[in-house]
């Protein structure tokens, strides 16, 4: 076993680090530990929680930059102690390379983060929400496209440096433990005074993991602030035009590129304040004038136009969504306001109502469907990760009430659902009270999953290729009271099956293969069910030959 060197025999020129150097080391270590824990926590955070962590992450990063600068100045003025005689030449080279790598990373990580923040955040940075901090020099003078391209490089570089830092930290810790427990020299005791080499039980040595656990607890245990989901509006008049229509629409379509974490063009839609502030090129809204508002101009450009938004392969906003946004800007782009109190035309109200899935008589419809005095079943809360995933892929998920945990789910994308979509829907199936999927490619096979949602009261599946075979899957649903299968392949046989569903009150099957005669028969057999057929396909005559013009 190696002989433990007596600390009193260590020459002063290779003795312990100074108190200031030790303070710099452990303050930097604590800040790095905090960054690691925050980075891990941010992966599962969103909304206000993510914004809070991101702001703190930037502030701690600048703090690390300042600590590193101070540490280098102190090191220049007060050279560190020499290596111990017990260290081999290979260990000395590794130590020099490790220290050089650490200093490069301690400068590179904050600098790339600072540069990234300067190019993607308008309004500048405030350290710990108090002290103003300038933007990275000269970067904001570059052309906008150059900044966007450079920000992507900085983002990738910053992420790569994080992984290199974690690997180097692991080697650094393992090396310190090797010197303390295997080589049993005074390497560790030069940075933690009062620690005897080879000793496991030491109050000062135990302080290191305890401090790490404390940092972990400080970041992970407190509940992150979250924006409480807004309940579904009881009627169109009570809906808030910005909070219930505009903000969710922009979140679905635009925040993948314009959020606090990724604000291309220095433009974030994370809050009404950041939306009002605009981006690198100035405000994007001219309240009262949609035509002069850059935001509205870009979403209404042809997809081939260079300035059109969203870019790439992301789906463009639907005409109804663009109309709702124009109506909001036209009345002054307010941060809140019930639709019933705003000056909107009947057509604008109709458009907004279609987006929300509500109308002027929503309250009356809800009372007829659920019973005015009905006590909603209380179910367990839905998987929040599944809800976040669904909301990020085109679903609007709103709570029915603050007690029941039931949910209204509305699919808004112009695409077919995938296996992943159905898997995430299955995770919240018990909580789904109403479900609306228009032209989502739902076929007979997928109806088996939807039929398992035993608290489902209203189901809207217009524009999906559902046949009589699929209708049999829904026949046994005990809570279903309203069903829409318009523009499907449903025929009279399926209509008869669905009309016999135990709780069904309304059935909408216009533009299907079902006939008026079939609907009349189903009504006679099930008088409690209102069946709306409209004009069936058989009622529309086939087009005849075109009449030739007479010269």
Above 50 in pLDDT, residue 9? no
Of 253 and 201, which is predicted with more confidence?
Answer: 253
Above 70 in pLDDT, residue 193? yes
Could you give all domains of the chain from N- to C-terminal order, each with its CATH number?
7-220 (1.20.950.20), 241-357 (no CATH), 364-537 (3.80.10.10)
Confidence of residue 91 (pLDDT cuts 50, 70, 90): confident
Structure tokens at 106: 């301690």
Above 70 in pLDDT, residue 89? yes
What pLDDT is stored for residue 5 in this prediction? 47
Strand pairing partners for 240?
338
Contact criterion met (CB below 8 Å) for 239 and 356: yes
What's the whole-number mean pLDDT along residues 103-116? Answer: 93
Q: 261: how many CB neighbours lie within 10 A of its CB?
A: 17
Centroid of chain to Cα 175 = 39
Rg of the Cα trace of the chain? 32
Q: Which of 163-172, 268-277, 463-472 has the lowest mean pLDDT?
A: 268-277
Tracing tokens 């809207």 back to the chain, one arrives at 460
What pLDDT is stored for residue 45 in this prediction? 61
Of 484 and 537, which is predicted with more confidence?
Answer: 484
Rounded Cα–Cα distance for residues 254 and 237 (Å): 27
Contact criterion met (CB below 8 Å) for 238 and 340: yes
Q: Exposed, middle or buried, 133 (CB in 10 Å: 0-12/13-18/19+)?
A: middle
Above 80 in pLDDT, residue 145? no
Contact criterion met (CB below 8 Å) for 241 and 342: yes
The mean predicted confidence, pLDDT, of the chain is 80
Highest mean pLDDT among 118-122, 125-129, 373-377, 488-492: 488-492
Rounded Cα–Cα distance for residues 254 and 311 (Å): 10
What's the whole-number mean pLDDT along residues 537-547? Answer: 44
What pLDDT is stored for residue 70 in this prediction? 94
Helix 384-391 × helix 419-427 angle, to 10°: 140
Structure tokens at 511: 């533009």
Above 90 in pLDDT, residue 384? no
Tracing tokens 């993948």 back to the chain, one arrives at 256
DSSP-derived secondary structure letter, 404: T
What pLDDT is stored for residue 139 in this prediction? 83
What's the whole-number mean pLDDT along residues 458-482? Answer: 89
Cα 374 to Cα 8, 370, 407, distances in angstroms: 82, 6, 16
Respond yes or no on whether the N-terminal peptide bond of residue 470 is cis (omega within 30° of 0): no
Write the DSSP assignment of 129-153 as a string of letters. TTEEEPPPTTGGGS-HHHHHHHHHH
Q: 131: how many CB neighbours lie within 10 A of its CB?
A: 10
Confidence of residue 6 (pLDDT cuts 50, 70, 90): very low
Confidence of residue 212 (pLDDT cuts 50, 70, 90): low
Of 492 and 369, which is predicted with more confidence?
Answer: 492
Helix 444-451 × helix 419-427 angle, to 10°: 10
């Amino acid at each position: 076993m190696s002989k433990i060197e007596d600390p009193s025999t260590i020459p002063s020129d290779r003795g312990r680090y100074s108190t200031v150097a030790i303070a710099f080391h452990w303050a930097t270590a604590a800040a790095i530990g905090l960054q690691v824990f925050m980075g891990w926590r941010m992966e599962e955070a969103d909304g206000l929680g993510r914004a809070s962590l991101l702001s703190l992450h930037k502030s701690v990063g600048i703090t690390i930059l300042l600590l590193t600068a101070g540490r280098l100045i102190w090191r220049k003025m007060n050279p560190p102690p020499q290596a111990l005689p017990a260290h081999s030449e290979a260990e000395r080279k590794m130590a020099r390379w490790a220290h050089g790598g650490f200093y490069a990373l301690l400068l590179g990580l904050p600098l790339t983060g600072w540069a990234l923040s300067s190019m993607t955040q308008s309004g500048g940075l405030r350290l710990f929400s108090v002290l103003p901090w300038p933007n990275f020099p000269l970067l904001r003078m570059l052309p906008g496209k150059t900044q966007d391209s450079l920000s992507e490089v900085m983002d990738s570089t910053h992420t790569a440096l994080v992984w290199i830092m974690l690997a180097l930290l692991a080697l650094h810790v393992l090396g310190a433990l090797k010197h303390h427990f295997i080589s049993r020299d005074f390497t560790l005791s030069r940075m933690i005074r009062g620690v005897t080499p080879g000793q496991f039980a030491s109050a000062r040595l135990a302080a290191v993991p305890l401090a790490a656990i404390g940092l972990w607890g400080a970041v992970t245990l407190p509940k992150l602030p979250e924006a409480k989901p807004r309940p579904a509006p009881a009627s169109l008049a009570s809906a808030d035009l910005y909070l219930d229509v505009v903000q969710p629409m922009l979140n679905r379509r635009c925040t993948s590129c314009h959020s606090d974490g990724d604000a291309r063009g220095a433009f974030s839609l994370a809050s009404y304040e950041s939306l009002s502030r605009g981006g690198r090129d100035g405000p994007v809204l001219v309240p009262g004038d949609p035509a002069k508002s850059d935001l509205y101009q870009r979403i209404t450009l042809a997809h081939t136009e260079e300035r059109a938004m969203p870019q790439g392969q992301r789906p463009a906003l639907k005409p109804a969504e663009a109309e709702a946004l124009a109506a909001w800007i036209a009345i002054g782009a307010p941060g809140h306001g019930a639709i019933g109190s705003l000056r909107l035309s009947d057509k604008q109200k109709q458009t907004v109502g279609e987006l929300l899935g509500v109308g002027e008589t929503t309250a009356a419809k809800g009372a007829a469907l659920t019973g005015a005095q009905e006590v909603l079943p209380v179910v367990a809360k839905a998987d929040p990760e599944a809800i976040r995933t669904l909301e990020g892929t085109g679903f609007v998920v709103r709570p029915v009430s603050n007690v029941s945990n039931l949910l209204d789910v509305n699919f808004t994308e112009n695409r077919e659902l995938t296996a992943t979509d159905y898997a995430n829907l299955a995770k919240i199936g018990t909580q789904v009270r109403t479900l609306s999927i228009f032209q989502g490619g739902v076929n007979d096979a997928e109806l088996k999953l939807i039929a398992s949602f035993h608290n489902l009261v209203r189901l809207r599946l217009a524009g999906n290729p559902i046949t009589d075979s699929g209708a049999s899957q829904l026949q046994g649903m005990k809570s279903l009271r309203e069903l829409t299968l318009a523009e499907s392949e449903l025929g009279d046989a399926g209509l008869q099956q669905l009309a016999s569903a135990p709780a069904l009150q309304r059935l909408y099957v216009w533009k299907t293969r079902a006939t008026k005669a079939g609907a009349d028969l189903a009504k006679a057999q099930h008088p409690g069910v209102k069946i709306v057929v409209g004009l069936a396909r058989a009622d529309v005559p086939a087009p005849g030959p075109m009449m030739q013009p007479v010269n």
